[in-house]
Amino acid sequence: MFSESVLVEFKQEYTSGIMKTVVAFANTNGGTIYIGIDDNGGVVGVENADSTMLKLSNAVRDSIKPDVTLFIEYYQEIIEGKTIVKAEVQKGTSSPYYLAAKGIRPEGVFVRQGASTVPATETAILRMIKDTDGERYEEVRSLNQELTFAESEKEFKEQGVPFGINQKKTLGLMNADGIYTNLGLLLSDQCVHTIKSAVYEGASKAQFKDRREFTGSLLKQLNDVFEFIDRYNRNRSEIDGLHRIDKRDYPMEAVREALLNALVHRDYSFSDSTLISIFDDRIEFVSIGGFVRGITFDDMMLGISVARNRNLANVFYRLTLVEAYGTGMPKIIRSYKDYPVAPQIEVTNNAFKITLPNINEAEKKSSLNANEQVVMNLFKDKDSVVRKDVEAALNISQAMSVRILKGLVDKNEIRTVGGGKNTRYVARHEVL
């Protein structure tokens, strides 16, 4: 009798452990399992071949995902006068196959090494997924199949959009076999990608005021981050005659579209977090992933867009979070058309950055003359300044420095602390 090899496995009797070998053959190069032959190649036969075949075929159907039944054929053979059961397993087309009870993890995915069945490494599992499912991250099977959707279900319900099994398959959260994709992972409560946001004092990263990391479903992160930014999107008031005019530091539409762009178009095949940095004079949105191949900066500014994550963009469209491809960037630009500043967009091969300038800060600066702007810049590095600081910075006389400081006090940009020789000046940030 021949011996065990990379393509042959002997089993003296049927046990549930045979499923590991079926998985291994389907993931590697196929092979044949003989039930009724011991490890030394001795034929012992099986008592009830029909019952053994039935148990084997039922177990394969119920225990292994994706469905591997089309790649297995079962036979009975008489060898040395004894009946054995033979299962011929072909290499499947949807690897990695895995034990349903264990999931797409090393303890559930097996391969053949010589005459042995061994757990696959995570690297090997990812390679099998990539070879089978292709390059599109959101369509690839998720390594985590134990997903829940509490936050997404709430969002879909609020928008009146069904979110059952059929909808999950149609939207791409599941494939045809009912296996969750990476899009499902992104919208699940177990999403591994995060958004990190930090608020800084002044215009540099020298000093933190606040920082947060947002987790969970992308839909939850979207809502939580928007609420977080809104807390720092100050509302400044001006009096025009009898009327009070309120103006946010950042147009709400620009913030919304920049945040949606950072989520919908980022490259989730990288694990780094999306970064949002809030300064006194700007907000920066930085996401992983440059332009999709074939799209240029000029194309984007014209409203041409090719979604990196088409299924994710479609989900956001169904939830009325986005209107159509390519409308976000023109909206951001238009929201600044009446102001003296404009958004900045920077793109590298691996990152995309949108900078939204603070409208109120920009208008304040535009009302200051050159000397006054130099004085206000002193407060970026100092909590307070004295007259001599102004004299040194501008190389001017004492009298001139006093006039400049008085002008800034009158414009409500700074206020005095103390008096006489101990007079200091601190920046005034009025929030009404």
Instruction: Say if residue 277 is in the same domain as residue 407.
Output: no
Instruction: Say if residue 211 is in the same domain as residue 336.
Output: yes
Last residue of a domain, one of 116, 131, 146: 131
Domain containing residue 399: CATH number: 1.10.10.10
What pLDDT does residue 242 have? 54
Give the total number of structural domains in the chain: 3
What pLDDT does residue 27 have? 95
Q: Is position 344 within any domain?
A: yes
- What Å distances lie between residue 171 and 138, 147, 181, 216, 324, CA to CA? 11, 16, 11, 19, 16
Instruction: Say if residue 348 is in the same domain as residue 377.
Output: no
What pLDDT does residue 5 have? 92
What pLDDT does residue 12 have? 94
Place of tokens 């700007």: 282
Instruction: Say if residue 118 is in the same domain as residue 218.
Output: no
Instruction: Say if residue 203 is in the same domain as residue 329.
Output: yes
3-state DSSP assignment of residue 313: helix
Q: H helices within 172-302, ranges in order? A: 182-187, 218-232, 252-264, 297-301
Q: Is position 312 within any domain?
A: no
Instruction: Say if residue 26 is in the same domain as residue 69.
Output: yes
Q: Is position 270 within any domain?
A: yes
Q: Is position 411 within any domain?
A: yes
Last residue of a domain, one of 131, 157, 179: 131
Instruction: Say if residue 262 is in the same domain as residue 348.
Output: yes
What values do phi and psi take at 320, rounded to 5? 60, 25
Q: Is position 153 within any domain?
A: no
Q: Is position 48 within any domain?
A: yes
Give the whole-angstrom CA distance, residue 153 versus residue 171. Answer: 14
Domain containing residue 337: CATH number: 3.30.565.60
Instruction: Say if residue 108 is in the same domain as residue 232.
Output: no
What pLDDT does residue 431 have? 33
What pLDDT does residue 293 have? 66
CB 300 within 8 A of CB 329: yes
Give the whole-angstrom CA distance, residue 38 versus residue 349. Answer: 58
Left, alpha or beta for 418 (phi > 0: left; psi -120 to 50: alpha)? left
Sign of the CA dihedral running 149, 152, 155, 157: negative
What values do phi and psi take at 402, rounded to 5? -65, -45
Instruction: Say if residue 325 is in the same domain as residue 393.
Output: no
Instruction: Say if residue 342 is in the same domain as residue 392.
Output: no
| Tens place of pLDDT per residue across the chain (432 aa) | 578 999 999 999 999 999 999 999 999 999 999 999 998 899 999 999 999 999 999 999 999 999 999 999 999 999 999 999 999 999 998 899 999 999 899 999 999 999 999 999 999 998 888 888 777 889 989 989 999 999 999 999 999 999 999 999 999 999 988 999 999 999 999 999 999 999 998 888 888 899 999 999 999 999 999 999 999 998 876 655 555 667 889 999 999 999 999 999 899 988 889 999 999 999 999 999 877 666 666 666 666 666 789 899 999 999 999 876 667 788 899 999 888 889 998 888 788 999 999 998 887 766 778 888 899 889 888 889 999 999 999 999 999 999 999 888 877 788 898 888 889 999 865 332
Q: Is position 177 within any domain?
A: no
Q: Is position 205 within any domain?
A: yes
Q: In the numeric block, which tokens belong to residue 271?
A: 């694990």
Last residue of a domain, one of 80, 106, 131: 131
CA 144 to chain CA mean position, Å: 15
Q: Among residues 182, 198, 216, 177, which one has the least CA distance to residue 278?
A: 198
CB 327 within 8 A of CB 302: no
What values do phi and psi take at 94, rounded to 5? -125, 35
Structural domain that includes position 84: 8-131
Domain containing residue 68: CATH number: 3.30.950.30
Instruction: Say if residue 76 is in the same domain as residue 98.
Output: yes
Instruction: Say if residue 374 is in the same domain as residue 267.
Output: no
CA 339 to chain CA mean position, Å: 33
CB 198 within 8 A of CB 208: yes
Q: Among residues 191, 107, 195, 96, which one has the least CA distance to residue 147?
A: 191
DSSP, residue by residue, 86-111: EEEEPPPSSPPPEETTT-SSTTT-EE
Give the whole-angstrom CA distance, residue 77 versus residue 34. Answer: 10
Give the whole-angstrom CA distance, residue 162 versus residue 255. Answer: 28
Give the whole-angstrom CA distance, residue 356 versus residue 373. Answer: 21
CB 378 within 8 A of CB 390: yes
